[in-house]
A = this chain, B = another copy of it.
Amino acid sequence: MKVVANGLLEKISGPADLKKLSIEQLSDLAQELREAICKQVSTSGGHLAPNLGVVELTIALHYVFDFAHDRLLFDVGHQCYTHKLLTGRQPLLSKLRQKNGMAGFPEPRESHYDLFSVGHAGTSVATGVGMARADSLMGQGDRCVVSLVGDSSIVNGVSLEGLNNAGTLNRQFLVVLNDNGMSIAKPEGAVSKYLDQVRVNKAFGDLKKNTKRLLSEIPMGNQLERLYERAGGAIRGALHPHHLFSEFGLVCVGPMDGHDLPALIQMFEQAKNFDRPLLIHCKTIKGKGFDFSTKDPTTFHSPSPFEVERGKVEWKKKGRSFTAAFGDALTSTMQKDERVVAVTAAMPDGTGLSKVSPHFPKRVFDTGLCESHAMDMCAGMAKVGIKPFFAVYSTFVQRALDQVFQEVALQSLPVRVCLDRAGYVGSDGAVHHGFMDLNLFKPFPGIVMLAPSDEPNLIAALEFMRMYDSGASFMRYPRDEVPSHPISEDVPPFQLGKAHLVRRASSEKPDLAILAYGTEVYEALKALQNMGSEASNVALYDARFAKPIDVDLVTRLVRSETPILTIEENMVSGGFGSSVLEALNSRNLPTNSVHLMGMPERWVYQNSRAGQLAEVGLDAAGIEQKVRSLMVQIQRPRRKQVKRDFRVIEAQS
């Protein structure tokens, strides 16, 4: 990747340095930023195309506003690299998305220029409305508030609720709509069709002649007309009275070219002084700057490391992901059962459904970034007798919690939910971990929660879900590769609430029984293998179900005085192990020989996934350590043949 020699970027240690440049120099700076970003992402992976699309928008915003004082809110936030490089974080770039490096999303711990750590879409308007109201209450209404929102985020329910409220503000509030005509994949939904058809108004300096007349014909026209008189020439010239969002009470201008730096700067200058909510619709090109990324912005949305050799992109080899395994397994399921359909909320690639849709174009539905709607749509489908499989990230299904409550669980509808990226997600960091899906969905009567430990189990789990019609079922799997050598290629079918013994202890009376949920089965197996004969008398179960848990098994183990270790990649509080405690307690059985491992109650920031598992002791090494300490603890009283009572237990602690 060639780097331009101007050296403008390296001189910018904060927005003040940016403001010293002439408007002409800004184009060169944009080019330098693009090359720096592309060079880094090609080395480490990261979000590429979204960042390339907003270089000019970000430069222009920082050129016009002062975000040490004013408020800049990112939405989703995977387009914040230029912003970070302009606000003093060039030294962190070489460790993009790595431990102690530059987070891939806005991160207030890094800089006060980042207001919220975000990664979920649609929040910037709503938080911006809050900041605007609070600034005004605090007598600092002169601070401008700017939300930078993508065209896919804007159709999310939270955005739309935010716009409805923004429309009532009696003060400055600027929404910059970054419309690249692309969600993460090609977007779905009527609004995106609408935005596609709105043409760029290149010559927005020329007053559109009929604007005033049109203003008087629409319901809120009088109000708009008054605002029109107060607006600067650029705003008046680009006014779009029939824009979708005008009817939400915002003054709407554009669309304008989101790469035209002088025009953007002129528009933002006027927007800064406009005392009512304003939406500037900017058309941008996702991936702008490089042929390979503009041609295929979906692939280059968030690529893994790559090289560009003579215009051809080379990818570093990777193993087979759970996502890919799921895509293939679901394709088979759909071949077998014509009632099965697949649903995604704007993540066909991330969830593996892009492997499915070529086979079944009419049975794969993309709702756009609308998780709440997607869950309800699935409920409606299930009501009719269709079998919807909603593939969604664990962290994003949080947006559909209430829909799972009312439209799915309360109706006992057999919606199937496949939670990708459950557990630690690596470099995306704290905004994306799937750390609490068990907590969220366990409370609902009749819901089944299961997890495969490897690809053969994923196939078996999916078959269980296809056949399970009594209520909703939730399967979870991590952002990881499937074990390349599964314990067995031919696993027994999933049976409701039954664990599966994967490694027998050497005697009838095991020293310890491990119940691992999901891929922790393999971490536990590695730990036991590393321990060799020391651990030969430890049994290992693939728990398979976190709800209902295998009560017979845990009861039997406790009654036979076999200590239990539960391991899961969910919060330890309120997760699978906690259900084991509750089940034993409610049966008046003791829990002192039950030990829980899971995700601790703290935020875990960007790092590799392996690094994160190690950080919290959920890798093979951490499990080995835990098993060793338990063996000491367990064997000591047993050797002494001491009756267990309160005092003995205290002494152990």
Contacts and interface: CB of A to CB of B under 8 A. Distances in A.
Interface of A: 108, 115-120, 123, 126-135, 137-138, 155-158, 160-168, 188-191, 193-194, 197-198, 214, 217-220, 242, 244, 247-250, 341, 362-363, 365, 367-368, 370, 372-373, 376-386, 388, 398-399, 401-403, 405-407, 410-411, 430-431, 435-436, 439-440, 442-443, 445, 558-559, 561, 571-574, 578-579, 581-582, 585-592, 594-596, 601-603, 643-646, 649-650, 652-653
A219 B120 CA distance: 30
Contacts of A585: 581, 591-592, 594-596
B582 A586 contact: no
A101 B155 CA distance: 41
Contacts of A368: 161, 164-165
A216 to B, nearest CB: 12
Interface centre among A116, A214, A250, A653 (most CB of B within 10 A): A116
B383 A116 contact: yes
A328 B381 CA distance: 46
Given A406-B119, A596-B586, A646-B561, A377 B129 contact: yes
A412 to B, nearest CB: 9
18 contacts: A120-B402, A133-B386, A158-B376, A164-B189, A165-B188, A190-B247, A198-B219, A244-B248, A398-B401, A401-B440, A410-B431, A439-B439, A443-B571, A559-B646, A561-B646, A574-B578, A578-B578, A589-B649
Nearest to A129: B377
B376 A130 contact: yes
A591 B588 CA distance: 9
A158 B589 contact: no
A529 B535 CA distance: 55
B242 A131 contact: no
Given A126-B380, A406-B431, A219 B197 contact: yes
Given A130-B376, A442-B439, A249 B193 contact: yes
Contacts of A407: 116, 118, 123, 126-127
A134 B123 CA distance: 31
Contacts of A602: 445
Given A133-B381, A561-B646, 14 more contacts: A116-B407, A131-B380, A131-B384, A133-B377, A137-B341, A156-B157, A157-B161, A158-B373, A161-B372, A165-B367, A190-B250, A573-B579, A574-B578, A578-B582
B130 A378 contact: yes
A134 B381 contact: yes
A370 B125 CA distance: 13
A255 to B, nearest CB: 11
Q: Rank and list the top 5 A-B pairs by shortest CB-CB distance, nearest first.
A: A130-B380, A157-B157, A167-B190, A190-B249, A126-B376
B646 A372 contact: no
Contacts of A373: 126, 129, 158, 161-162, 164-165
A167 B220 CA distance: 24
Contacts of A341: 137
Nearest to A132: B380
Contacts of A157: 156-158, 160-161, 372
Contacts of A134: 380-386
Contacts of A402: 120, 398-399, 401
A129 B399 contact: no
A644 to B, nearest CB: 6
A191 B250 CA distance: 11
Contacts of A382: 130, 134
